[in-house]
Structure 1
Amino acid sequence: MKEYNIGEKIKELRLSLEISQNDLAKQICEPQDLEKIEKGDEYPTLPQLHTLAKRLGIPITYFFETNWNQNVDYVNSVKTLMRNYARDREYKALYEIVKREEQSDLFRDKLNKQFLMWHEGICVYHVDKNKGRSLEMLYDALKITNREMNDFTEDEIQIMHSIGVI
């Protein structure tokens, strides 16, 4: 039988997202039960696993993948978390993630850099209340991948939408 190390993956994601056991366990299970799950002493129920995955911003299938690239999974998890914070208008929490990930080598390529700059521009508007700097950042984010300003990708259209909202 294949060993999936579900608890290990939960702990790894929880720590990378800087979420405490108490916060992650809220309304799912007791913190001491989460500790047992992370140690591999217990397995979560399917409803618990579904809620944990949702709270960690990942698909439930993440726990059962055998050939996965940790860096890609981490970046995708962070992006999902950032989208969730933006959707829920949790701009201060979003801003903290942006600032932390700006230092990461995983967010240095064009698309990931654009994603961070886009969300930082949103935060600058909502948290710092700086409309001019926000718009400047959003336009700069667009120019990272589209200097010609034509044939827009989905993310570029969403950045333009953010500009329109601001």
Structure 2
Amino acid sequence: MIVLNAKALGEEIKRLRKTNNLSQAQLAEGICTQATISGIEAGRGYPSVDILYILSIRLKVSLDYFFKILLNDAQGYIQDTERMLEDLMKKKDYKETFEITTNELKQSTRNLGYKFDQLIKWVNIISSYYLKKVDWQKAVSMLENLLDSSHPLFGQDFIDFKIQNSLAIIYAENKMFQKSLQQYNTILSYHDFLKQHHRFQIKIHYNLAKLYYLQQDYIHSLKHTDLGITLSNQNEDMSMVGQLYFQQGMSLEELNADPQKISDAFKTSLFIFKLLGRQEYVRMVNEQKGAFVNANQ
């Protein structure tokens, strides 16, 4: 399979431009717009052959030189893009992820692999949904179309499970609780995958705890917080422990459990958030559950 390395090409064009003491505007003059040069140098697009030919003349290299770079291994570009999108998704910067993935989807002449294409489409759909460009039913339909269980690569990459997790979240956000529950149970059935990705498994238990809580099924909510906490301890993973203890306290409170147990859950949650420097969560616990965290102090 031939893949195109836009990032490497962009970096080399930028290097050559600076070597020749040219600004982006000067390089673009009579060829294309400065914005086009900026996009090419950022690795976010491919120039047409005629533009690339004129650029090669202006930058004093052969067209073949650019083709050799362009046809190089694109793995570095793929990994960089994946890391960037993951970081932006964690920050819920959906505007930026929408712009990046929309531009990626316009590059229809290249082939960076089935899984990369699937990732770009997934992030684009999620971004579109949270930016209210599509309704939840449309988002669900589009996500379901990304899951092809007959494809030989199905289940061989994290993205299939992230898509299923997104489906479960969207169902829950739109009060389709049984649909959400079915989706989570499907994910939990992939035992071999989950053994290798304990953090994702912990997150699924946390999401299930929230889902059962919304359905006022506090017993099952508590069950999944306990499972998540146990997995966190076994794998020495603190990434979700604060949230899990907070959710545990919420369920215990609804069950009219021993006030000391409720207080301990919220205090543990607060301690972990402070330890991890998660100030937004520290404020949340203090504001919402101050009576419990300040008890017996």
Give the TM-score of the pair, scaled to structure 2.
0.31
Aligned to 2:120: 116
1:157 is displaced (CA, Å) by: 1.1
Q: Which has the higher contact order (CA 8 A, sep 6+)?
A: 1
CA distance in 2, matches of 1:158, 1:89: 15
Paired amino acid for 2:150: R
1:132 aligns with 2:113: no
Checking the alignment, whether the CA contact within 8 Å between 2:118 and 2:159 is kept in structure 1 is no
1:16 aligns with 2:42: yes
1:147 is displaced (CA, Å) by: 3.3
Aligned to 1:157: 161
1:101 aligns with 2:104: yes
Segments ≥4 residues shifted beyond 3 Å: 105-108
Checking the alignment, whether the CA contact within 8 Å between 1:142 and 1:156 is kept in structure 2 is yes
- How big is the alpha-carbon RMSD for the aligned residues of Structure 1 and Structure 2? 3.0
Paired amino acid for 2:89: A
Checking the alignment, whether the CA contact within 8 Å between 2:122 and 2:146 is kept in structure 1 is yes
CA distance in 2, matches of 1:165, 1:75: 26
1:70 is displaced (CA, Å) by: 5.2
| Gap regions ≥5 residues in structure 1 | 1-7, 19-68
3-state SS of the aligned residue for 1:152? coil
1:125 is displaced (CA, Å) by: 1.1
3-state SS of the aligned residue for 1:147? coil
1:108 is displaced (CA, Å) by: 5.0
1:89 aligns with 2:92: yes
Paired amino acid for 1:80: R
Paired amino acid for 1:125: Y
Instruction: Give the direction of change, closer, same or farther, for the CA distance of 1:88–1:17 in structure 2 (3 Å limit).
Output: farther
Instruction: Give the direction of change, closer, same or farther, for the CA distance of 1:80–1:107 in structure 2 (3 Å limit).
Output: farther
CA distance in 2, matches of 1:111, 1:133: 22
CA distance in 2, matches of 1:139, 1:165: 13
CA distance in 2, matches of 1:107, 1:100: 14
CA distance in 1, matches of 2:112, 2:105: 8
1:107 is displaced (CA, Å) by: 5.2
How many residues align structurally?
105
Checking the alignment, whether the CA contact within 8 Å between 2:88 and 2:97 is kept in structure 1 is yes
1:73 aligns with 2:76: yes
Aligned to 1:38: none
| Gap regions ≥5 residues in structure 2 | 1-10, 16-38, 45-71, 171-297
CA distance in 1, matches of 2:86, 2:94: 11
The higher radius of gyration belongs to 2
Give the TM-score of the pair, scaled to structure 1.
0.53
CA distance in 2, matches of 1:107, 1:159: 21
